[in-house]
Amino acid sequence: MAAIDDRSPPVVRKTPLALASSLVSGSLLLSGCGLVQDLEKPGEDGESPSPESPEPEPVEEDFPYTKTGRVFLDTGQDTELELSITGLERTPEHTVLHYEASYKDQLRGSNTRMSTPPTLVDPVNGRVYNQYIDEDGVTSYGSHGPKDSGRFPVHEGVANEYRVYFPRIPEDVRQVTFVGRGMGAMTGIPIQDVEEEKPTPDPNGDEYVRTEPPDGTNLTFEVRRPDSEAQAVDVDLESFVDSDLASTTRDGDQETMALHSDVMFEFDESTLTGEAEEVVTKAAASLERNIDPESSEITVIGHTDGKGSDSYNDELSEERAETVRDLLREELGEDYAFDVEGRGSEEPVAEEGGPDDEEARARNRRVEFSYEVDRDSPGQDSGNGDQEDSLGAAERNVSEPAPFDPELGEVTASETEDDVRLDVYPLRRDGAYVIGTVELTNTSDEPTELEFDSEEARIPGGPDQFEKGTLGGFQLLEPDSDLVRYVAQMKSADGKYASLAEEVHELQPGEPYQLIAMFPAPPGDVEELDMRAGPFGELEGIALE
């Protein structure tokens, strides 16, 4: 017998964030951790499109959506799991996920499952929907094990039926991408609009804690519905695109362009170079295209590296910010309100003092300008990359959400490091993002661990935050440009980060483990990208579908 505990304790910070779960054999005990951030009650954030918004096209439903993947267990009995999404309902109050999970291997003893909990992503605007949490920060709503133990009996090849509660997803969203439970990404899951969720089946799980169920019997459990203590969790995908001239960070409805000061100014000067004026002109065109038409406030902030006195750096950074502000105002006109700050060396984005000190200091010398964007705008609608008048790093390229496909396609590149083989599958467009799917296979005869965030795998002077996590050292490169697209990170309202990729633990011999990352999408005419794959080096010619 085995048992699974699906109740999630508060998040544990490890790399950027650890997500874990628990299991027991005979019964399998499985628990997953959710993000804990500044919490908001559900429904604070407008949930219907404006009257002017076009009615989204209906999405064809074809439940169940089924996929298999391998999940990490603390005992090393890592097992293949088949997961079927049987419904995704949007009621007037909540979003309800119904799924069945069937373990394909016999488990023994008490186990802990270490996988990302069920998570829903809107791939168009980057919102992430996590399960409701209670006042203790635990995802205790939904299916409960017998006698409220949190442990679910698990039998080889027998499906357990679960339901999970999320905040109500806005009505203009018709489909989402499911991540978690070792499944990689399940794209194109349609949302069903209903007045009431499906009836709760009579629970039978307590009858089969120590006995095998009859053939064809699914196990069902008690359900705790959201109550007045249920709290929604506010999370967005934060994306980062870099180039030789500038970088762009998008976090929810905030966008920040950072112009690299070494291109913009001579040493210790605050007067723009000739090349810099063209860069600011292009940045102004991108800003004008991206900014929310309902907002006119632009914040310009200067930054320096850590050399020199604080007073000197504060003064220089403010003077440089004022110079950029003046040219932006000249390009944009008087319809915008500017706020200027000089923060000196207070907010580095790369750690100085290491072996890549020179590159880190260069990245920290920058002038940023931040503004609000309309996160539901269509972007470039998967257009081409010929926006000569603007900065490529600031262009947002949006396609339709990807349809569901349980198949990964053919392996397009492979590399081996320390007895671990990396297989890379074709990249796939999904809304404003690209999903990268890889598999790790231990080719040795003994369990092994792979270090993803070693110094050798880091890009010199790279932004610290976007190089953390399982696939944080991975980037996509456009062969015909200098643009580098980093792995998007989940970011909570209080600034905590987590990766969508499963955290990698000890790899058992001969078994493939599937991981995914989401990157900001390139223009629609890009059909192939190179991949920096952390410790595996650079892989060329990864197909983009």
pLDDT score recorded for residue 11: 37
Is the predicted pLDDT of residue 379 greater than 70, yes or no?
Answer: no
pLDDT digits (tens, 9 = 90+) for 316-332: 999 999 999 999 999 99
Taken in order 350, 354, 356, 359, the sign of the CA dihedral is positive
Is the CB of residue 476 less than 8 Å from the CB of residue 243? no
Q: Whose structure tokens read 């603007």?
A: 390
Query: Is 253-374 assigned to CATH 3.30.1330.60?
Result: yes
User: What pLDDT, on the 0 to 100 scale, is given for residue 17?
Assistant: 28
Mapped onto helix, strand or coil, the DSSP state of residue 84 is: strand
Please give the backbone phi and psi of residue 322, each rounded to the nearest 5 degrees, phi first: -65, -40
Q: Comparing 139-148, 328-337, 503-512, which segment has the lowest mean pLDDT?
A: 139-148
CATH of domain 413-543: 2.60.40
- Residue 192, Cβ density class (10 Å: 0-12 exposed, 13-18 middle, ≥19 buried): middle
What pLDDT does residue 375 have?
Answer: 74
Does the CA dihedral 207-212-217-218 come out positive or negative? positive
The pLDDT tens digits for 392-439 are 999 999 999 999 999 999 999 999 999 999 999 999 999 999 999 999
> How much is the pLDDT for 462?
63
Report the percentage of the chain scoring pLDDT > 70. 83
Question: Which residues does 193 contact at the CB level (< 8 Å), separation at least 6?
Answer: 89, 90, 171
pTM attached to this predicted model = 0.87
pLDDT of residue 493: 86
Predicted confidence band at 67 (pLDDT cuts at 50, 70, 90)?
very high
Domain ranges of the chain: 2-232, 253-374, 413-543
User: Could you tell me the sign of the dihedral formed by the alpha carbons of 17, 121, 84, 428, in that order?
Assistant: negative
List, in sequence order, the alpha helices (H) in 139-273. Answer: 261-264
Burial call 318-345: b when 16+ CB within 10 Å, e when fewer: bbbbbbbbebbbebbeeebebebebbbb
Mean pLDDT of 384-397: 74
- pLDDT range class, residue 501, cuts 50, 70, 90: confident
Annotate 11-40 with three-state secondary structure. CECCCCCECCCEEECCEECCCCCCCCCCEE
With 0-12 / 13-18 / 19 or more C-beta atoms within 10 angstroms meaning exposed / middle / buried, residue 50 is exposed
The per-residue pLDDT for 106 is 82
Which of the two residues, 350 and 29, has the higher pLDDT score?
350
By percentage, how much of the chain surpasses pLDDT 90? 63
| Across 30-34, 179-183, 311-315, 453-457, least confident range | 30-34
d(CA 183, CA 31): 16
Residues recorded for the chain: 545
